[in-house]
Chain A
Amino acid sequence: MLEIKGLKVQLEDEDKQILKGVDLKVEAGKVHAIMGPNGSGKSTLSYVLSGKDGYEVTDGSASLNGEDLLELEAEERAALGLFLAFQYPVEIPGVGNMTFLRTAVNSQRKARGEEELSAKDFLQEIRAKAKTLKIDADMLKRPVNVGFSGGEKKRNEILQMAMLEPKMCILDETDSGLDVDAMKLVSEGVNALRDEGRGFLVITHYQRLLDHIKPDVVHIMADGRIIKTGGPELALEVEKNGYADILAEMA
């Protein structure tokens, strides 16, 4: 599914290396988690994979189902099936949530040479999916993320994921700003999308999200590299002892 080899990345307008050779492989049907201290490069990895400007790849590769991601525009990566759930979803006043999502769904379909979804079919689908995430009709009509609470914004991200049905989902600190109930709701939304054909990369600081979204593999990232990989028990170890032990062990 997602294959990253020796990825080195620096900021475009600053001579500062952030990723120093990342190797990672996420298989279809699996949930991988990346944990790590602040500044380890976790969010940068998610941005570089999804095509944000401002980063320069100096070495290495990243591909999705064999297609080179790094050569593509952000929208082309999305049409290939890559999805990034943002840590800070952006507010877009004046553009209705529904209009935005329909534009996104149909843009992707068009890019893949599929037929666009009719207004009626789209409406039926979004209503059903919104309901399971407890997103009401009013939230669908409102401008994208404007006036949404932290929890509403994250639920809206998951709704977009459900509507776009991506192959590879990257969740960037989806648990940040969520209370216990909201985290449960968001996690249920994610779990409902777990599927043999879909891969997940869950970026988080805390183990608690992984109580709800159970990972198959856990990676520890520090200073731009993945320094340790293990099973779910690795996350528990971090929770108990912090990163210091692992960092010391690797040094």
Chain B
Amino acid sequence: MNAVAKKIEATTARLEGMSLPAGGKWATEAREAALTRLRTMGLPDRRDEYWKYTRPDTLTQTDAPEASVLDTGEAPLFDGFDRLKVVFVDGVFDAEQSDDLSGEGLNIERLADVAAKDIHWARDVYGVLENNGQSPVERPLAALNSAFATDGVVIHVTGKVSRPVNLIYRHKSDSSDAILHHVIKLDAGAELTVLENGPAAARFNKSMEVDVADGAAFHHVRAQGRDHERRAVTHIFGRLGTESVFKSFTLTVNGRLTRNEAILELTGDDAVAHVAGACLGDGDFHHDDTVFVTHDAVNCESRQVFKKVLRNGATGVFQGKILVQPGAQKTDGYQISQSLLLDEDSQFLAKPELEIYADDVACSHGSTSGAIDEEALFYLRARGVPKDIATDLMVLSFVAEAVDEIENEDLRDEMLARLEGWLERRRD
């Protein structure tokens, strides 16, 4: 039997006994279509090129490996911000801890409620952006998510919303296995900021499909939880209309395994897509950023900025691609992925790719791995800064380019303060 047939057989066996969640007409159709995709593709295994650097087995196996809940004793993130809180505990919406799901300029509903209806606008986005994102590279875990997710939020943004929506993921049970799926649709000219934080569950599979209409702006700032053994695979699918803006930043500290995929398609002229991430890993830490940006319109700009700080045998992975389709002239594409290796045991695996079918574009990409700059370290120490603090300053210096991608100054400061706090506590 060949490898593909084996994979399909393993997937069929894995899915045996699993039934799709009950729902209304549109959701059932979307879930069935996603399941069909999944059965055709098969779950990823380690022979897959796209999973060469990250072993998918703990993400695909039946039971989630356990992860203990970490009590950090820290003040909750985004505490000082006026925001709409939506809380999930082990992947289940918690009305008690959440704010009233309403706000000016947006309509926000639970996926569970929306999926029960026979007709809902979400059908135009749910599983649709994910399906578009399955080509040219398959993302079976996103199809799995679309098929089996029962909870999440469905947000329709009609105006400029100043109060961010904060999705908070609490982790309570050591063996929780959570799937969440969010759908966000921004009408022309609408604006929304989504904040995400928390470890979510022992194992977490999350998808977010974001449809950004002409002239709309979507901002996303996320901090993934620090629970040491937690595992997560997340997908963000973005579709960008003319003159729209999509900006996403992710901070990751700890966790056993994280794979964050961002699949963005610039479909309208003059659109801007930025996706950035900073991670700090120590020991049994595997962090994978997989990004695919498709330019399918004229005069669009995209940036990918990823920085990884690794020590004690931690592993960082970056697979990033810019695809410029025929006719997507005047494309301005930028991609940088860098690692700061704090010792010789850590490793960074990078696969930067450009694929360009238009002749009037400017695309640049770079990838580096390096140790701390000894000259700069000496400069700091010669001013009286002890070596450990000087090293942390160099770490902050290293990740700055990624953190600077956060447009809102208060949010940027919040992320930096959190980062500094983590570095400081680690020193004690």
* Residues on A facing B (Cβ under 8 Å): 50-53, 73-75, 77-79, 83-84, 86, 89-95, 99-101, 103-105, 107-108, 111, 143, 160, 164
B102 on the interface (CB 8 Å rule)?
Answer: no
In the assembled complex, which residues on chain A have CB atoms less than 8 Å from the CB atom of B390?
Answer: 75
10 additional contacts, CB 8 Å, given A92-B393, A93-B397, A160-B383? A51-B382, A73-B387, A75-B381, A77-B382, A83-B382, A90-B373, A92-B376, A92-B394, A94-B397, A111-B384
In the assembled complex, which residues on chain B have CB atoms less than 8 Å from the CB atom of A103?
Answer: 385, 389, 393
**Do B379 and A90 touch (CB < 8 A)?**
yes
In the assembled complex, which residues on chain A have CB atoms less than 8 Å from the CB atom of B375?
Answer: 90
Closest to A105 in B: B384
Q: How far is the CB of A37 from chain B (nearest CB, A)?
A: 25
Partner of B376, one of A90, A101, A105: A90
**Do B399 and A107 touch (CB < 8 A)?**
no
From A50, A94, A160, residue with most partner B Cβ within 10 Å: A94
Partner of A50, one of B382, B387, B393: B382
CA distance A93 to B396 in the complex (A): 9
**Do A104 and B383 touch (CB < 8 A)?**
yes
B45 on the interface (CB 8 Å rule)?
Answer: no
Closest to A85 in B: B382
Q: A92-B376, A92-B379 are in contact. Are A107 and B396 (CB under 8 A)?
A: no
In the assembled complex, which residues on chain A have CB atoms less than 8 Å from the CB atom of B381?
Answer: 51, 73-75, 78
Q: How far is the CB of A79 from chain B (nearest CB, A)?
A: 5
**Do A164 and B383 touch (CB < 8 A)?**
yes
CA distance A19 to B384 in the complex (A): 25
CA distance A93 to B383 in the complex (A): 17
Closest to B386 in A: A75
Interface pairs A-B: 5 shortest CB-CB: A94-B400, A78-B384, A108-B384, A74-B381, A94-B397
Proximity string of chain B (417-428) to chain A, C-beta cutoff 8 Å, 1 when within and 0 when not: 000000000000
Q: How far is the CB of B401 from chain A (nearest CB, A)?
A: 7
CA distance A93 to B375 in the complex (A): 13
Q: How far is the CB of B168 from chain A (nearest CB, A)?
A: 29
In the assembled complex, which residues on chain A have CB atoms less than 8 Å from the CB atom of B84?
Answer: none
Partner of B384, one of A89, A94, A104: A104
B125 on the interface (CB 8 Å rule)?
Answer: no
CA distance A160 to B379 in the complex (A): 12
Closest to B403 in A: A94
Closest to A78 in B: B384
Q: How far is the CB of B382 from chain A (nearest CB, A)?
A: 5
In the assembled complex, which residues on chain B have CB atoms less than 8 Å from the CB atom of A160?
Answer: 383
In the assembled complex, which residues on chain A have CB atoms less than 8 Å from the CB atom of B401?
Answer: 93-94
Closest to B400 in A: A94
CA distance A219 to B393 in the complex (A): 38
**Do B382 and A78 touch (CB < 8 A)?**
yes
Q: How far is the CB of A98 from chain B (nearest CB, A)?
A: 13
CA distance A66 to B162 in the complex (A): 62
In the assembled complex, which residues on chain B have CB atoms less than 8 Å from the CB atom of A105?
Answer: 384
CA distance A47 to B374 in the complex (A): 13
A and B contact pairs by CB, cutoff 8 A, 22 listed: A50-B382, A51-B382, A74-B378, A75-B382, A75-B385, A75-B390, A78-B382, A86-B382, A90-B373, A90-B376, A90-B379, A92-B380, A92-B393, A93-B400, A94-B398, A94-B400, A94-B401, A95-B400, A103-B389, A104-B385, A143-B397, A160-B383
**Do B386 and A107 touch (CB < 8 A)?**
yes
In the assembled complex, which residues on chain B have CB atoms less than 8 Å from the CB atom of A101?
Answer: 383
Which chain B residues numbered 352 to 383 have a C-beta less than 8 Å away from chain A?
A: 373-376, 378-383
CA distance A164 to B398 in the complex (A): 26
Q: A93-B397, A94-B396 are in contact. Are A52 and B378 (CB under 8 A)?
A: yes
In the assembled complex, which residues on chain A have CB atoms less than 8 Å from the CB atom of B403?
Answer: 94
In the assembled complex, which residues on chain B have CB atoms less than 8 Å from the CB atom of A111?
Answer: 384, 386
Closest to B379 in A: A90
From A52, A77, A143, residue with most partner B Cβ within 10 Å: A52
CA distance A160 to B385 in the complex (A): 13
Partner of B383, one of A52, A53, A78, A99: A78
CA distance A92 to B385 in the complex (A): 14
From B382, B386, B390, B398, residue with most partner A Cβ within 10 Å: B382
From A50, A53, A84, A95, residue with most partner B Cβ within 10 Å: A95
